[in-house]
Structure 1
């Protein structure tokens, strides 16, 4: 990782994204992606199958993509294994990961993070790689149907690694450079040396965020007011992404315990529905269980595990959830419309430069110390 050539960014014409502005759908709309219609594609790597919420993506002007990533091959094959060092440069530098089964090891900025179900990671233009994942050994059909959860337990951690992942716009339309090939990586050097430059498009406050599912800030708190009907108490977990996303997206998990079993790690301070009501566009993804919604005309519809609904600000309301249910809610905020997309020319130029966009070196602590800086570096 010590082979780099500097580039004059001004001469190359590289700037922040200067394509079309992003537009949320402010109309009264509802788009549903059903799990029964899901297709899983090995878009980037043979072991990672992607299930996109395509209906919602297209209905919301292709501004925000949510998909499920399911690990489906062992790590020891020649064509699988760890990824190279790479980074994503979506508008706003936004990438969200919520682990829903299995275990992973990620390297962000030369520091290892061992994460399992319920872990939340948000990163803005940070060079990273995936080092390890679990694989159950089940056939594809069975593997894709193993239950998912945001609460770590021995069973869920033993399944194949899966996570929900979200980007602002489509990953195929913005730069995703691999910084160096594996033959150039000096493992003795990577923990201590990082390279930074100013080519990124992050809002103020955006940076790295990790929320452990058993941390105090991740406790599920009782929902007051009874606005969501359920046979058992309803709880809400704030996944804490509004500030580190640069005020682009809010995130909450709305959940209930299984019958007769206290599963969710709980706090005592109650929350009300207003605490998670933000969003010009809202997205709900049922991780497990069932949920009932109404549209703006009061007509109800049901979602089951794996289903996603994307809707306008007041187009749908979550009115009921079943037992042992977990629902991810994302609220897309107005700040997203301050971003612009990368043009195809910009994207291709950055992808072509890859490791040559490095401009300075910065000696940093060992990988076990400090937090990621959150800039563009290798």
Structure 2
């Protein structure tokens, strides 16, 4: 493959974000995004409908966005299809994807990943594109009602592709350069290699991460109620560590808290103890109910009941998980102190970087087998 080339970018002022500091809301706030109150909008592409947890974003000083992406049109139309090669440059270089239905093919820096329900991907400003997604053929109304899961399930794998996606700050506030146009794509090459450049404020140690839902490190372990407080449930409660704390540069922790359906067992399990310390982390916490029901107790002991599609964002200690129903799956994200070192991109920086997109990629490498070998263009290598 050869040594990576180092381009001498002379872009003073674009080295790192230079705007206002990102500040988590450290008050005892509680913000709820109810599924019944939301709308799905084709924000970026006609085939992708977005449902954004805006109450949580605004209450947390705009520091963190969780959104659902639901594919709603077939891939073969002229106005849909694969995405162009692009990269996001959010503060911290953070983008998290958790697939919840259907199947996707993602190209991360020339290496192809086929993923379905429960797969987790965290990428730190890597050039990528979406090559394929499943579409059920259902109407929009019916498509948005199909169940979601983090456990591979033949039924959910056949639905339209959906995933939960998280960014530090709103994607409209940072550069999102498209780095290769569709006329330049050649399927026998990897022309999106993004060699090292300084337009990145990734924390030390952050990197690319993929977790397969059936891998040993993705097994569900008994919920440590003795350390975190009791949780009422008709079924045993389990937790899966998504493994994203270290790859995110210790910006965000991620876990799935879940129960089996009554009379059945669908969660792949381990009897080993879960890490209670990791599950308790978070200056701010975000809970998304992927399926089922849950209740959270505030400091006064009042129960906040949430159902499928609801999201709650809260300051540290403002709520705790108190109840969880059967066949329930909850995404928990803990936002850590590393946010304090991050800044926003200024509008001027953002526009300059977007305009320089064509310079970010500087050469192409032939790869005989796109499924083998190490990725070649990580910005952090």
User: What is the aligned partner in structure 2 of residue 343 from structure 1?
Assistant: 346
Distance 1:187 1:137 in 2: 27
1:178 is aligned to: 178
Paired residues, what number? 372
Q: What's the CA shift for 1:9?
A: 3.2
Q: Map 1:342-361 to 2 at 5 A.
A: 342-358=345-361
| TM-aligned CA deviation for residue 367 of structure 1 | 2.8
C-alpha deviation, 1:188, in angstroms: 2.5
Whether 1:66 and 2:69 are equivalent positions in the alignment is: no
Q: What is residue 168 of structure 2 aligned with on the other side?
A: 168
Which of the numbers 250, 253, 276 marks the counterpart of 2:253?
250
Q: Does the aligned pair in 1 maintain the 2:107–2:113 contact within 8 Å?
A: yes
Residue by residue over 1:43-86, the C-alpha shift from the partner in whole angstroms, topping out at 9 and shown as x without a partner, is 00000000000000000000000000000000110000100000
Residues 296 and 305 in structure 2, CA contact (< 8 A), matched pair in contact too: yes
The one of 266, 286, 290 aligned to 1:287: 290
- Note if contact 2:97-2:122 (Cα within 8 Å) is conserved in structure 1: yes
Aligned to 1:132: 132
Per the TM alignment, residue 186 of structure 1 is displaced from its structure 2 partner at its CA by 2.9
Superimposed CA distance per residue, residues 153-206 of structure 1 (whole angstroms, 9 cap, x where no aligned partner): 110000000000000000011000000111122332317965332321100111
Contact 2:193 2:376 in 1 (8 A): no
CA distance in 2, matches of 1:70, 1:300: 30
User: Which sits farther off after the overlay, 354-363 or 313-322?
Assistant: 354-363
* 3-state SS of 1:309 partner: strand
* Change over 3 Å in CA distance of 1:281–1:164 after alignment to 2: same
**What are the ranges of 5 or more consecutive residues in structure 1 without an aligned counterpart?**
1-5
SS at match of 1:179: strand
Alpha-carbon contact 1:24-1:60 (below 8 Å) kept = yes
Q: Secondary structure at the match of 1:176?
A: coil
Matches within 5 A, 1:243-282: 243-271=246-274, 273-282=276-285
The structure-2 alpha-carbon separation of the partners of 1:243 and 1:233, relative to structure 1 and needing over 3 Å to count, comes to same
Q: Is the 8 A contact 1:253 1:328 kept in 2?
A: yes
Q: Give the superposed CA RMSD.
A: 2.0
* Structure 2 counterpart of 1:367, from 365, 370, 373: 370
Residue-by-residue CA offset, 1:302-347 (whole Å, 9 max, x unaligned):
0000000000001011111000000000000000111111000000
Q: 1:355 to 1:295 in 2, by over 3 A?
A: same
Ranges in structure 2 where 5+ consecutive residues have no aligned partner: 1-5
Cα deviation, residue 12, structure 1: 5.9
| Cα separation, 2, equivalents of 1:28 and 1:119 | 32
